[in-house]
A and B are shown apart, each in its own frame.
Chain A
């Protein structure tokens, strides 16, 4: 599912580490920062599990408060909140894909620059 097979030629960015390149390359006007939606005290009061304390916690907390109010039978009462939360998660996943692709292209660029530098040195 969405997996990529690497060959010996491709440059694979290491997903376990943070990106090695400057985040502002390619953005002449800078980038918007991601703002954490809740403070840490608010997250603690809402008893949010560690896994869900990402940049979508406000939608998660709204969903939980809605679920606590719905009755046993109307299972469709919180569909809108589910939808908003899922949209947020999907956007987050797309951002991770974009980050990976950006990282990969910058590494390829570095490799090309180095190859060119090496070949020019040999030419001399």
Chain B
């Protein structure tokens, strides 16, 4: 895109380049965004467009040489889109989410649950449960005996 249009001739030329009517053409405001003369189209996703109209490209619901929004990547297809009203309002969405989390956490904290455990005894180590290796006192090394389940012959 060329630089921000200042004169009316530049506006007409830019509108013609992007295929927009001169009254529809509105460049993005020159506030350091750096877009030049790119038009400021409404951020409507392709999924929000009429599915029964005969588009040139029905998969993306767009016509040939139609100008695309500068930030189109954010709302291609099924991505983020603010053009339509949500089914439930944003406040209600947050309420549902946090109420669910709160209820489940309160139940887990305050309702008693029988404890689960793995049915194994502690692991058996030789040499008095590795008394010396763990930095124990060399003077009193405990003698711990471990047994297998085979009878002594």
Contacts and interface: CB of A to CB of B under 8 A. Distances in A.
B117 interface: yes
B147 A96 contact: no
Interface string A55-82: 1000000000000000000000000000
Say whether chain B's binding surface is mostly helix, strand, loop, or mixed: loop
Q: Interface extent on B, as a size class?
A: 20 to 34
B121 to A, nearest CB: 4
Contacts of B144: 18
A19 B123 CA distance: 12
Nearest to B129: A18
Contacts of B147: 23, 31-34
Given A29-B152, A31-B150, A33-B147, A53 B133 contact: yes
Contact of B121 (A5, A27, A34, A100): A100
Interface of A: 1-8, 12-13, 15-19, 23, 27-34, 36, 40, 50, 53-55, 92-93, 95-101, 103-104
Interface of B: 114-127, 130, 132-134, 144-153
